């Protein structure tokens, strides 16, 4: 089966390698490792802890460089930064002209900001909406989800893909938002899938149309995610939706 991984962090320069364990993953074996786990296509941003806009731009340029090298295998995601609104808007336009249609994964705590909705982000979302781009956002127990909800509610024409199901209250908050907003999606990367039954319960509650397969590679073991999804005993059409159909539809929609 075709598998699209909606959330990875590719890199060329070693300092942007997010693998916890040294040279297990290198820029040379990155694609091969994913393919050997059964993954046919990836999306995602290059990440590194930086708070300057020069740093942000460097990550975005690296994503473009990777796209050049890896071609059809990779859908690049870009960064913006709410402390630099004007620069972010210019950067959106520049990246859009270079074929980029995905913003994120945004990882605010890596880049010295925190709120997904405020005056600065409002201005940035206006440009994202105008360009018709998708936004992928990191979530965890410390992220203000009510604040994220404000952005999702205010910008109904932007598709927001939240990362990481997590568990307990956080997981149920995702379910609440998935039910409430057509433009809210969830990717399966990071914490969540290792709790057996998480995905089946999610689909029972909200259907399979807004759930995207994702790993967070090279932070995580990609094969573990592929097998975890398969082991949840979904219907064939649900499995297809999660593994590639939903992502394909989203990405085609912004071509």
Residues lying near Zn ion in the complex (CB under 5 A) are found at 105, 216
Q: Which is nearer to Zn ion, 127 or 216 (CB)?
A: 216
Q: How far is the CB of 135 from Zn ion (least distance, A)?
A: 14
Q: Which is nearer to Zn ion, 216 or 238 (CB)?
A: 216
**Contacts of residue 59, Cβ cutoff 8 Å, sequence gap at least 6:** 16, 45, 46, 47, 48, 50, 79
Which stretches of 98-167 are DSSP H helices?
108-111, 119-131, 145-154
Cis peptide before 105 (omega within 30 of 0): yes
In whole angstroms, what is the distance from residue 165 CA to residue 171 CA? 5
Q: Which two tokens stand for residue 246?
A: 């939903």
Which of 105, 232 has the CB closer to Zn ion? 105
Q: How far is the CB of 236 from Zn ion (least distance, A)?
A: 29
Q: How far is the CB of 140 from Zn ion (least distance, A)?
A: 10
Nearer to Zn ion, 89 or 159 (CB): 159
Shortest Å, Cβ 183 to Zn ion: 20
CA dist 81 and 86 (Å) reads 10
Please state the closest distance from residue 119 (CB atom) to Zn ion, in A.
26
Residue 116 DSSP SS3: coil
Q: Which is nearer to Zn ion, 89 or 211 (CB)?
A: 211
Q: State the number of CA atoms in the 13 A half-sphere of 245 facing the CB.
A: 10
Strand pairing partners for 160? 135, 184
């Amino acid at each position: 089966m075709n598998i699209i991984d909606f959330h990875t962090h590719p890199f060329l320069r070693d300092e942007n390698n997010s693998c916890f364990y040294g040279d297990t993953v290198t820029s040379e074996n990155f694609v091969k490792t994913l393919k050997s786990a059964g993954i046919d296509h990836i999306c995602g941003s290059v990440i590194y802890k930086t708070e300057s806009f020069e740093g942000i731009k460097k990550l975005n340029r690296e994503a473009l460089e990777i796209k050049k090298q890896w071609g059809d295998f990779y859908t690049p995601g870009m960064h913006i930064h709410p402390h630099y609104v004007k620069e972010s808007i210019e950067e959106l336009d520049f990246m859009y002209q270079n074929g980029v249609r995905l913003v994120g994964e945004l990882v605010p705590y890596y880049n010295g900001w925190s709120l997904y909705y405020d005056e600065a982000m409002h201005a940035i979302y206006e440009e994202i909406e105008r360009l018709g781009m998708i936004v992928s956002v990191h979530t965890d127990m410390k992220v203000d989800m009510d604040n994220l909800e404000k952005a999702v509610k205010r910008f109904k024409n932007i598709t927001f893909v939240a990362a990481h199901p997590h568990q307990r209250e956080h997981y149920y908050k995702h379910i609440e938002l998935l039910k409430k907003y057509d433009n809210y999606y969830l990717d399966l990367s990071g914490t969540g899938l290792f709790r057996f039954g998480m995905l089946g319960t999610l689909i029972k509650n909200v259907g399979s149309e807004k759930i995207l397969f994702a790993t967070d590679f090279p932070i995580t073991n990609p094969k573990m995610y592929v097998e975890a999804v398969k082991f949840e005993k979904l219907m064939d059409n649900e499995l297809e939706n999660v593994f590639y159909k939903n992502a394909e539809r989203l990405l085609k929609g912004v071509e």
